[in-house]
Amino acid sequence: MKSWMLAVIVACNVQLVHKSLSSQINYHNIMFTIFSSPSLQNLAMYSGKLSTNCIVSPYSEITKHLLTDSSVTCHYQNYAHKSSFSEETWHKARTNPILKYFRSLKWTPIPIGLGFAIIAYQQFRHVTKREAAKLASSKSPTDLLASDFSVNMYTMLPLRAASRAWGWMFTLELPQPIRTPLLNLFISKYNCKLEEAIIDDVNHYKSLGDFFSRQLKKEARPIHPGKCLVSPSDGTILHFGRIENGLIEQVKGITYSLKSFLALKLANFEENQLITDEVYEKSLLQNKDNVLYHCVIYLAPGDYHKFHSPAEWTVHHRRHFHGELLSVCPGIVNWIAGLFNLNERVVYSGEWQHGFFSLTAVGATNVGSIRVYFDETLETNRKKCKKGTCEEMHFNPPVNVTEKGQPFGEFNLGSTIVLIFEAPKDINFNIAVGQKIKYGELLSFCNSHSML
């Protein structure tokens, strides 16, 4: 019976709280009375006194004394030994230097902004891996296009306001202490070759606008001679080739409408008359034996931001479309079908030696300002303008561009130039998709005699 009662007390595992010395003595007498009692009646009688004076624990000094008493069996003496072993282990754990170091560490709350940044970075990695896997497994270019919902969400961003803010920052004079470090950082990031500029002292450029519109040395951009088409700007060739059925190939397998892009009024048709894309294409040709070609050049932020005339031609008309300012970087161009038809753009059309010729400057994010030197009335990214509308202007007399490489205009930052021109069917392009090119370099020629 004593063993059973002892097991009950030990199993309770309740901490002893000694209130006073008299409580300890009282507890000692009560415990010996309980263990010497032949029945459980005394346990019930003294339970009230135990609960009011102290709390039983197998780790208290009195309990240890009871457990080591000679009247208690060896089984509980082993338990007492285990209890002592546990205390020693706990003591060693408390003095362990490694555990002590970890207990000394204090938790510091992470700022909410940093937490969101970490989540955003993880999400960006996840999306990047997902899109890379999608690109690798895709068999059709249309599988990679954005949905209408994604495009609508993208166009809801305040890109026009952000571009106007960038245009304002573009003209701010940089403080002297940060001017050189900031411009040097930009130069190193985008691998700009300042030695090609007439002024190669970075401290001379007071604003970002001054730096982006820097003038280059003539020997840095030699113009290819002969009757040929040259690049109007520095940049990367995104796409080029023949226009078929009135459709321009944006990327391989993805096209957009020539009629929607140029939206020029044709003399032989009424304004509201429905015209198919194929008929529109043929109506632009001045020589029915020729065909239409296109070439798209992307200007990255680090490229020279001015653009020049790619040929000797005459400008008759300007058509300014108010639209979006979506990014025109290659990744977005491959993602949104008909991107160039959505963005704000300025189409200059006329004729050259082979017939129809047009140069279109396409606006983009942070490139709301497009400046054309001979067209002082042009004002892009205005606050009060309705998307989807356009303005046009006829130049009377026409503007004659008398030489290739003649300065034509400039962007605030990198953007896109689209050339659409008429030429004979035997034209040869001297470029490749993805090729880096500089203004004045050869784009195409019709035959070997055109080089003379």
Of 239, 294, 305, 308, which is the active-site residue?
Answer: 308
Contacts 24+ apart (CB under 8 A), 71-77: 71/2, 71/35, 72/2, 72/3, 72/6, 73/3, 75/3, 76/3, 76/6, 76/10
Following DSSP, what letter does each residue of 114-156 receive, concatenated? HHHHHHHHHHHHHHHHHHHHHHHH--SGGGGSPPHHHHHHHHT
How is residue 86 written in tokens?
Answer: 């546990």
What is residue 239's three-state secondary structure?
Answer: strand
User: Which residue spans within 328-375 are E strands per DSSP?
Assistant: 345-352, 355-362, 370-372
263 conformational bin, left if phi > 0, alpha if psi -120 to 50, beta if neither = left
Of 57, 415, 444, 450, which is the active-site residue?
Answer: 415
Q: Which residue has the tokens 């004394």?
A: 65
CA 291 to chain CA mean position, Å: 39
The burial class, CB within 10 Å (0-12 / 13-18 / 19+), for 313 is: buried
Active site residue 415: yes
Phi and psi angles of residue 199, each rounded to the nearest 5 degrees, phi first: -105, 110
* Residue 447: closest CA among 425, 432, 421: 425
| Cβ pair 433, 240 in contact under 8 A | yes
Q: What is the dihedral of CA 328, 334, 339, 345, to 10 degrees?
A: 30
Active site residue 349: no
* Residue 327: closest CA among 287, 360, 363: 363
* Residue 196: closest CA among 405, 439, 369, 408: 439
DSSP-based helix, strand, coil % in the chain, nearest 5: 40, 20, 40
Phi and psi angles of residue 121, each rounded to the nearest 5 degrees, phi first: -65, -45
Phi and psi angles of residue 40, each rounded to the nearest 5 degrees, phi first: -90, 0
Following DSSP, what letter does each residue of 254-319 receive, concatenated? EEEEHHHHH-PPPTTS-TT----HHHHHHHH-SSTT-EEEEEEEE--TTS--EEE-SSSEEEEEEE
Alpha-carbon torsion (105, 107, 111, 112), positive or negative: positive
Of 233, 234, 277, 369, which is the active-site residue?
Answer: 234
**Looking at this protein, which amino acid is placed at residue 146?**
A
d(CA 41, CA 213): 104
**Active site members:** 234, 308, 415
